[in-house]
Chains A and B, each alone.
Chain A
Amino acid sequence: MALITGWFSSETPLHPAAKMAIPPIFEQSWPGFSKLSPEARGLAILRNEALATIAGHLGVEPEWLHVLGETNLGFYLGIQGLLSPAQLLQVSAIDRQEILAIADSQSHSEILSVSPEGQIRQSVNQDAVLAWQLGNGETGVVQQSAPTAKAIFVDATATGARLSLPEKWSTALWDSRNWAGPEGIGFLAVHPNSGWRNPLPHNDNRTVPGGSSTGLLIASALAIDSWVADEKIQAEMILQVHRRIRGYISERISDVDFATPENPAMPHLLSMSFLYVDGEQLLNALLAKGFAIDSGSACNAANLEPSHVLAAMGKLTQGNIRLTIHHAVTPEEVDGLLVAIEECVAELRD
């Protein structure tokens, strides 16, 4: 059966505002923006405007914001640049794999455990560098307390323009895909008082390698402007859809473990696990009914390990589905999805 909706998986199609603009942008964005030709100077102006737009929505100064052609490189730059030799790095058990890998590579690191609600429950070492996840991309968990540490790397790759940075931060990372912007472009903010030093080999004062696409930067700025406007209109609808799905499933299906806390700070995410159900079979059954969703179950992971986020929160990892509620979702799609989940879970438990 053909896919009738892709709206419940984490990826979003490029925002129409950015999509329409990409061909003309790429016609203009070929010169090196630091060159002296009129075309290059025009492009430099566009580039600065794009950076100022994005910085404005993310709540940082444009000169603190650096463009990455590879978003995941920002985890290393943002964290490693804050660490001095032998300094302790603290991360949380529900941080992204990329951050856990950085912790793994350090001589002094500690993984902070979390409560069943995903809140960090160990005390933070005030002399450490702390990796602070603003919002969890799998469960929608948002830490309730403000971070305090000597230096703080904020992982905002799952929150985008939804949540503001905490009062105290040193470096922060965003992914353009979070606001329906193009993939392959990320943003690293470095606070001027952070003491950050470039951990990569370098012979100039650049913060990031600089291989990012100016065309994608401009497209990302158009996307964030439109996404923020959409969000203002659609946020309440998304919360209602979230509550409706949760209510329907709690009422109609037994033995469900919700990983997303009630009263979520990021209601576009909803993660739940069904006891006695194979996650891969559930995903395929839903796909056959035309619904594309994500899962944190082991059967769906490349390494056959269950989601470390669900395991760290003590949640059921089998039969897990993760729904992402996008701006363009329709009530009919939600109705269809709810019936499909109910039918598929019943069939697979039979």
Chain B
Amino acid sequence: MTDLPVIDSMGTRCPQPIIDTARFLREQPIGTEAILLADDPATAPDISAWARMTRNYSAQLEPMKFLVRKESDY
């Protein structure tokens, strides 16, 4: 997991971490995984809502660290 690409959204406010994630994964093939780093408190509920709405995957690894995986084209 240490080799995964990192989306660094630290210090940005909602909805920027979600926009950063969506922009990065949009160009990647299905199955691509990445680590999202974000300290905005809305990231936890919003990355999981994003995954549900766009049929992708997310999991919170640590308070400010999330695993995201592209599972669909959106």
Which residues of A are in contact with B by a Cβ distance under 8 Å?
A: 255, 257, 273, 275-279, 297-299, 304-306, 310-311, 314-319
Q: Is the pair B13, A299 in contact by a Cβ cutoff of 8 Å?
A: yes
Q: Which of B2-10, B28-36, B46-54, B61-69 contacts A (4 or more CB under 8 A)?
A: B46-54
- The answer to whether A278 and B22 touch (CB under 8 A), given A257-B49, A310-B45, A317-B49, is no
Chain A residues, Cβ within 8 Å of B40: 298
Interface of A is mostly: loop
- The answer to whether A319 and B45 touch (CB under 8 A), given A275-B50, A276-B22, is no
> How long is the Cα–Cα vector from A297 to B19 in the complex, in angstroms?
16
Which residues of B are in contact with A by a Cβ distance under 8 Å?
A: 13-15, 18-19, 22, 40-42, 44-46, 48-50, 52-54
Chain A residues, Cβ within 8 Å of B50: 275, 316
Q: Is the pair B54, A255 in contact by a Cβ cutoff of 8 Å?
A: yes
- The answer to whether A319 and B53 touch (CB under 8 A), given A304-B41, A306-B42, A310-B45, is no
Q: Is the pair A316, B45 in contact by a Cβ cutoff of 8 Å?
A: yes
Q: Is the pair A316, B19 in contact by a Cβ cutoff of 8 Å?
A: no
Residue B46 contacts which of A299, A304, A305, A317 (CB distance < 8 angstroms)?
A317
Interface of B is mostly: helix
Q: Is the pair A318, B46 in contact by a Cβ cutoff of 8 Å?
A: yes
A24 to B: closest C-beta gap in Å: 49
Residue B41 contacts which of A275, A279, A306, A319 (CB distance < 8 angstroms)?
A306
Chain A residues, Cβ within 8 Å of B18: 275-276, 318
Chain A residues, Cβ within 8 Å of B41: 298, 304-306
- The answer to whether A316 and B46 touch (CB under 8 A), given A275-B18, A276-B15, is yes
Chain A residues, Cβ within 8 Å of B15: 275-278, 318-319
Chain B residues, Cβ within 8 Å of A305: 41-42
Chain A residues, Cβ within 8 Å of B53: 255, 257, 275, 316
Chain B residues, Cβ within 8 Å of A257: 49, 53
> How long is the Cα–Cα vector from A38 to B41 in the complex, in angstroms?
60
Shortest Cβ distance from A318 into B: residue: B15
Chain B residues, Cβ within 8 Å of A277: 15
Q: Is the pair B22, A311 in contact by a Cβ cutoff of 8 Å?
A: no
Q: List 5 A-B contacts (CB under 8 A).
A: A275-B53, A276-B15, A276-B22, A306-B45, A316-B50
Chain A residues, Cβ within 8 Å of B48: 314
A132 to B: closest C-beta gap in Å: 24
Q: Is the pair B45, A314 in contact by a Cβ cutoff of 8 Å?
A: yes
> How long is the Cα–Cα vector from A305 to B14 in the complex, in angstroms?
10
